[in-house]
Structure 1
Amino acid sequence: MRQILMLHGWGFPGAVYNSSLIDKLATDFEVRAPDRRGYGGNVDNGDSYEITRLDSPALLVGWSLGGLAALQLALRQPDMVTGLVLLATTPCFVNHLDWTFGMDNEVFDVFHKLVVDDPVTAMQQFVRLNAGRRPDGQSTVVLSDLSSKVTPYALQHGMSELAETDLRDVVTEIDQPVLLLHAADDRVVPATASSWLQENLPNARRFEFQTGGHAFFLQQADKVAEHIRAMA
């Protein structure tokens, strides 16, 4: 059975995929959604996923920070990655002098400080940002519930990873098929970031949803599952 490895983003464990995508794919694929250290059922603190190497070929599905991890896995083990589906993913999360498709540095620094000082309030704010400009109640409930299943240590390490990771100079080495999915109303990662990836990845195509926010796959689950199925 073909394998799909789903890598979650910052702030929410792998269970974020359960009701939206895993249930729709599990009948035809072997689907795994591992937790980063300090997330969900993975109680160990740390700054990465347990998976450092792939033992068998898999399609990688990565959301946001998980998309960065998927790109890094594809660079590290290209023979084990059959393709990538990147959800709301950027090669570089924060702005630089030569990169304006990220988060403003002052906004990031203020939020980073809030994560350190008051992680509960920080996650409440992040849930609202993820839900998009037209949030539906169910998505907000799912995100709110899952946001409590992450240790403060893991949140802080993830913020440092987002601040420091910049894959712009190496993504051109990824020649596997890549599907970029994004929502136009994403308030965390600008949709222009995945447009840049489409232009710079050798074998990429892109589809943009009009609504759904950063966690658009919760509202657009059926369509996202169809896209993943076609890639697998």
Structure 2
Amino acid sequence: MSHYPIVLISGWAMPAGAMESLAQALDADHRRVSIVQLPGLVRESEACKRSHDWESLLTYLDHQLFEKPTVLVGWSLGGMLATLYASRYPNNVAAVVNLGANACFVQNDGWEPAMDPVLFTRFYHGMSRSREKTLQQFTRLCSSGSLQSKALTKALQTLMSDADLDHQAEDNTLLSLLDILGKSDMRSAFADIRCPVTHLFGKEDALVPVGAANAIGQDFPAHRVQVLDGGHCFFMDDPEPVVSEVRRLSSGKGRVAT
């Protein structure tokens, strides 16, 4: 039986290696799996070194999808990008699995279960003033809620130290992606998407309130929503629930009428 290829999309400031264990688990039964790392952690050419917006990210993702249709598995900002891409290019996407990806990352009048705007602003300014310290704080937030939070924090910080971050003082890519994240609103894309969509959330996520799961389930009843143990990196603690869902969808199950 043939399966759709699977493409994992990493989150903001997170190297592809953060999703490697999930990729290996999915590849165990010989499915075609690849990882897309968002811009900002590798040195870009001078021509590419610029602020990004959703359109440039969509183009960036499209250029890295070598087989279509595919199952997109997006983490956080990567999930928002996967959702937008699927709504914009329905023929290219067989299904979407979002990992800790909110409809709006920051609270607004129409979406309460999200990050406090004051906290986000502090984080944004911290990134502008002290990149290294702020990224260390970010790894701790990602690891919060895990039963192995200290080990997970260390693992993420090691991955970041191995990434090409020295150029970030001159390159504003991560800051521009953070700006996109702060202004994100995927509710229209959620409503437009026609392929099967599953949203998986960590019960103890310090970046995406678990209340987002209930809100998405209520506002988008055609979407599948599940809350799992763990924090923002719940799939690193226990990849099996994610693997099970991705396998189901990559086999063509869960299709909806278009």
Taking structure 1 as the reference length, the TM-score comes to 0.90
> CA shift at 1:83, angstroms?
0.6
Partner residue of 2:231? 213
> CA shift at 1:179, angstroms?
1.2
How far, CA to CA, are the matches of 2:243 and 2:189 in structure 1? Answer: 28
* SS, match of residue 188 in structure 2: coil
Partner residue of 1:158? 177
Identity of matched residues, %: 28
How far, CA to CA, are the matches of 2:144 and 2:97 in structure 1? Answer: 21
Partner residue of 2:69? 57
Partner residue of 2:129? 117
Partner residue of 1:8? 10
How far, CA to CA, are the matches of 1:71 and 1:139 in structure 2? Answer: 27
Is 1:192 the counterpart of 2:211? The answer is yes
How far, CA to CA, are the matches of 1:217 and 1:120 in structure 2? Answer: 25
Partner residue of 2:158? 145
Amino acid corresponding to residue 132 of structure 2 in structure 1:
V
Which runs of no fewer than 5 residues in structure 1 stay unpaired? none
Closer, same or farther: CA 155–100 of 1 in aligned 2, 3 Å? same
Is 1:88 the counterpart of 2:107? The answer is no
* SS, match of residue 62 in structure 2: coil
> CA shift at 1:125, angstroms?
0.7
Deviations 1:186-208 (A, max 9, x none): 01011222332233335311221
How far, CA to CA, are the matches of 1:195 and 1:67 in structure 2? Answer: 17
- Please identify the structure whose Cα radius of gyration is greater: 2
* SS, match of residue 96 in structure 1: coil
* SS, match of residue 190 in structure 1: coil
Closer, same or farther: CA 133–26 of 1 in aligned 2, 3 Å? closer
How far, CA to CA, are the matches of 2:146 and 2:19 in structure 1? Answer: 20
> CA shift at 1:97, angstroms?
2.0
Selected match of 1:172 from 178, 181, 191: 191
Matches within 5 A, 1:212-231: 212-231=230-249
Matches within 5 A, 1:69-88: 69-88=81-100
> CA shift at 1:230, angstroms?
1.8
> CA shift at 1:60, angstroms?
0.5
Which runs of no fewer than 5 residues in structure 2 stay unpaired? 251-258
Matches within 5 A, 1:15-34: 15-18=17-20, 20-27=21-28, 28-34=30-36
Taking structure 2 as the reference length, the TM-score comes to 0.82
Q: After the TM superposition, which of the residue ranges 92-101 and 195-204 deviates more from structure 2?
A: 195-204
How far, CA to CA, are the matches of 1:8 and 1:225 in structure 2? Answer: 16
How far, CA to CA, are the matches of 1:227 and 1:198 in structure 2? Answer: 17
Partner residue of 2:223? 204
Closer, same or farther: CA 42–61 of 1 in aligned 2, 3 Å? farther
Closer, same or farther: CA 70–64 of 1 in aligned 2, 3 Å? same
Pairs aligned (count) = 230
> CA shift at 1:56, angstroms?
1.3
> CA shift at 1:115, angstroms?
0.6
